[in-house]
Amino acid sequence: MPHDDPDHPHSLLPPDPALRVKALETILTQKGLIDPAALDVIIDTYQHRIGPKNGAQVVARAWSDPAFRAALLDDATAAVSEMGFFGRQGEHIVAVENTPEVHNMVVCTLCSCYPWPLLGVPPAWYKSDAYRARAVREPRKLLSEFGVTLSEGTSVRVWDSTAEVRYLVVPMRPEGTEGLSPEALAELVSRDAMIGTGVAVAP
């Protein structure tokens, strides 16, 4: 963009909240309370390095390795930390496994608690009032809008996340995937399947 653009004689003014965040950063940096370089690292981490691929690796390993599956269901915090995934808020991670009888789905009715180390930052819909209210009130109807239709015999269990406990849904392994490697299986595990608003599907 040319520097002498007559429509923009000065720098484009960021929106009000952006200026307020900048102000906070400046004040806290001047007081020595924050390290500005650390902020860039955190943003980069959540934009590029932490996301649902982490959780998909965990699920694929649980499908492939019975000992790991047992360890994950027993103490997910320990099992995933062994794979290098740590919660930075000191929270516990609990893995809940879907079966033909029970379909699990996760919500945070308070705000937007979510297993960041495994799924990254939640999508906007997870944070919306609509999802947070309806996941509790009418989970089956909500699931059908996500394209998940459960059979009559499957009950829905909704888990409400907190600052201390975050949930990871382990979806059912799709049929016909017996010969697949953990890497290939991980490709079948979507973010929504690990929130419980989707299912894993065979390729």
Partner 1 sequence: MTVSMTDRAPDPVFSEPWHGQVFALTVHLHDKGLFSWPRWTDRFGAVLARHGLSKELDGGEDYFAAWLETLEAMLAEEGAASGAEVDRMRAAWEKAYLSTPHGHPVHLA
Q: Which residues bind partner 1 (CB under 8 A)?
A: 1-5, 8-28, 31, 33-35, 38-40, 42-43, 46-47, 51, 88-91, 110-113, 120-121, 123-131, 142, 145-147, 162-164, 192, 197
Active-site residue identified among 81, 108, 128, 155: 108
Q: For this structure, is 64 an active site residue?
A: no
Return the DSSP state at 45: I
For 29, other C-beta atoms within 10 Å of its C-beta total 13
Q: Quote the least distance from Cβ 55 to partner 1, whole Å.
A: 15
Residue 18 contacts by C-beta under 8 Å, 6 or more apart in sequence? none
Of the pair 21, 102, the CB lying nearest partner 1 is at 21
Q: For this structure, is 155 an active site residue?
A: no
- Residue 16 backbone class (left: φ over 0; alpha: ψ -120 to 50; beta: rest): alpha
Q: Quote the least distance from Cβ 135 to partner 1, whole Å.
A: 10
Active-site residue identified among 11, 64, 81, 111: 111
- CA pair distance 186, 190, nearest whole angstrom: 8
Q: Quote the least distance from Cβ 93 to partner 1, whole Å.
A: 14
Q: For this structure, is 81 an active site residue?
A: no
- 3-state class of 156 per DSSP? strand
User: Which residue(s) pair with 158 in the sheet?
Assistant: 105
Looking at 34-179, which runs of residues are DSSP E strands?
92-97, 102-107, 155-160, 165-170
Q: For this structure, is 181 an active site residue?
A: no
Active-site residue identified among 64, 81, 112, 190: 112
Q: Quote the least distance from Cβ 172 to partner 1, whole Å.
A: 20
Residues assigned a catalytic role: 108, 111-113
